[in-house]
Amino acid sequence: MPFLRRVLIFVLQMTSRLLLAVIRFWSIFSWNPPCPEPPHDPLLLTPASILAEKIRRREVKSSVVVQSFISRIREVNPALNAVVCDRFDDALQEAHAVDDLVSSGTEDEATLKKKYPLLGVPLTVKEAFALQGMPQSSGLLSRRSLRSETDAAVVLQLKKAGAIPLGVTNCSELCMWYESSNKVYGRTRNPYNPQHIVGGSSGGEGCILSSGGSVIGVGSDIGGSIRMPAFFNGIYGHKPTSGIVPNEGQYPNAHGCRTELLCTGPMCRYAVDLPIVLKVMAGKNVEKLSLDQEVSLRSLKFYYMENDGGCMFVSSMDKELVQAQKQVVTHLETEFGVSVQPISIYNLRYSFQIWSAVMSSDGSKEQSFTDLMSNGNRWWPSFELLKWLLGLSQHTLPAIGLALTENLANLNTQGNAKMVKKAKNLKEEINSLLGNDGILLYPSHPKIAPKHHEPLAVPFNFAYTGIFNVLGLPVTQCPLGLSKSGLPLGIQIISSQYNDHLTLALAQHLEKALGGWKPPGST
């Protein structure tokens, strides 16, 4: 068995390297637009919480703020393809209504803050969420004509809090791949280097936030779909404790065991905005968290892992990411006089297998990815692959591949059962380790933002984020500056269930200490 395992690892590595070489060679001949210039308008460089405060105090009009962000989207979107449908006219009307409310003086500043914590602040929304009047195809051609008649639960909450949606952003087909590209809207490009991916499935959201076209956004995450785009685009993304933020109103929604994996959460350019947006998103469930509790970082326990321990399906860690993590460790030890303990959690090396098993363990065929792809019609993944090879398919290759993989995974019921058991043991182990005062530092991804199509050669690298969906733990993706090539670095901050306030507090501290988001085009 050890010999066969070594042979399998060798074959996987050689296949991956060959495919990567082909993709990189082909990318030489592809054209990509230049990087956008960094935003210069001060309003575009202001956190949402401060924008709302300035609007309430009549220091700036919401209509002026909204127009600034609209202008920025028009400037960068032709090159990036992040916003796939806008509602600029409606947004400006809503902004003028906010200005009228504030100028009327019928409610004082304190009342406005309590009722509308995001009053007049621009918002963008992942296209997979229902936003009244906007498309909700989730990248599926058969849904391209659909227009939402209502708002998703979380969108409605944000609108009630005073936020003004500017439009919807691109995602991967049916939100199940970590490059945001589909047959409806095409591919979204990274603002730091358009030859590289933005991640998925909330890639358009991460891209427009990073490029200064929005300040807060709505994302969803079933295997890292908030955190990977946040990482690749150098912004903040928070996957809340499972069950805190309602998922209703997005497509596809989760059913059965997958309900525990799917999380809706905030994506922000500034860490200081995460708790405010999360409070609004969570609604009544915010009572389960302690977001207003003051956190003493020097009284916490800190742990870190440099990699997953060595999974044959996942790439090795990039050296710059390891170094960035070490800088965080050094900073915490120097700043707070704590000991950040290196640990090794053995079962994390099975992260991909565990995630795959849990995703396949719902036996309900009605909720399979294949059925979602078919949209009610007969559909065979193997035949669709043949059509793709002939250039006749209406689907992307990753989506077809996932449908094929899902069918194979469902055959391995015994192996899946073992991995589901590992998931339970792993959840108990990490919760016990962290308790109510522990934080784990863990890589966001093994590689800095890959070039377009490269995920096809390393499809399982999402395991670094996906495992925490299985465990139901809160995770904040935190940017850590830029690599030598000018692409974002980052790290995941993890705590035990319902201790979201710990990860958010550390993210805010690191933002002040290490600089947080770096505008594309800057040095």
* Residue from 202, 225, 351, 393 carrying the catalytic annotation: 225
Q: How far is CA 244 from CA 9, 201, 238, in A?
A: 39, 20, 12
- For residues 379 and 139, what is the distance between their CA atoms, to the nearest angstrom? 17
Question: Tokens 């908030």 label which residue?
Answer: 226
Check 126, 422, 451, 518 and give the catalytic one.
126
- In the numeric block, the tokens 């070594």 are attached to 6
Q: Could you confirm whether 30 is annotated as catalytic? A: no
Extract the tokens encoding 254.
Answer: 């989760």
Query: Which residue type, as a one-letter code, is found at position 394?
Result: Q
Rounded CA separation 400/227 (Å) = 24
- 225 a catalytic residue: yes
Q: Which residues of 231-246 are buried (b: 16+ CB within 10 A; e: fewer)?
A: bbbbbbbbbbbbbbbb
Candidates 172, 201, 356, 495; catalytic one: 201
Token reading at 239: 């996957």
The interaxial angle of helices 500-514 and 319-336, nearest 10 deg, is 100
296 given a catalytic annotation: no
Amino acid at 302: F
Backbone angles phi, psi at 223, to 5 degrees: -155, 15
Closest CA to 220 of 197, 203, 233: 203
**Long-range CB contacts (< 8 A, 24+ apart) of 380-388?**
381/407
Maximum distance among all alpha carbons in the chain? 77
String of DSSP letters for 433-479: HHTTTEEEEE-S-SSS-PBTTGGGTSTTTTHHHHHHHHHT--EEEEE
Q: Which residues contact 502 (CB under 8 A, 6 or more apart)?
A: 295, 300, 437, 439, 495
Q: Quick one: which of 42, 398, 465, 70 has its CA closest to 230?
A: 465
- DSSP-assigned letter for residue 50: H
Active site residues: 126, 201, 225
